[in-house]
């Protein structure tokens, strides 16, 4: 069912929420920027932090943005589960 799919996705996100690795953050050499990303229902959500503007903070800020994406997505999946229950 649709609800069980969202429960699986929610479980993966909750497991990853406190993972300190740089999962969901990539470096874009062309733009000299770090990008936070997450896939939600087949769509990608991104936020970019350029090294030329932020310097050494760019990677950390992308990591923080990724964690925020995860929290937002957890709430989104919870809503979907409750609406399908």
Segments in 1-85 forming alpha helices (H): 2-16, 51-54, 57-84
The Cα–Cα gap between 59 and 55 comes to 9
Residue bearing tokens 């969202």: 6
Residue bearing tokens 């069912």: 1
The Cα–Cα gap between 39 and 84 comes to 21
**More confident of the two residues 18 and 46:** 46
Write out pLDDT tens, residues 25-65: 999 999 999 999 999 988 999 999 999 999 999 999 999 99
C-alpha torsion sign, points 64, 39, 12, 6: positive
């Amino acid at each position: 069912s649709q609800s069980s799919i969202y429960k699986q996705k929610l479980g993966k996100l909750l497991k990853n929420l406190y993972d300190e690795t740089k999962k969901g953050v990539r470096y874009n050499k062309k733009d000299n920027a770090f990008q936070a990303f997450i896939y939600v229902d087949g769509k990608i959500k991104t936020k970019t932090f350029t090294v030329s503007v932020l310097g050494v903070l760019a990677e950390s800020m992308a990591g923080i943005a990724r964690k925020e994406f995860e929290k937002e997505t957890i709430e989104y999946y919870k809503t979907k589960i409750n609406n399908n229950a």
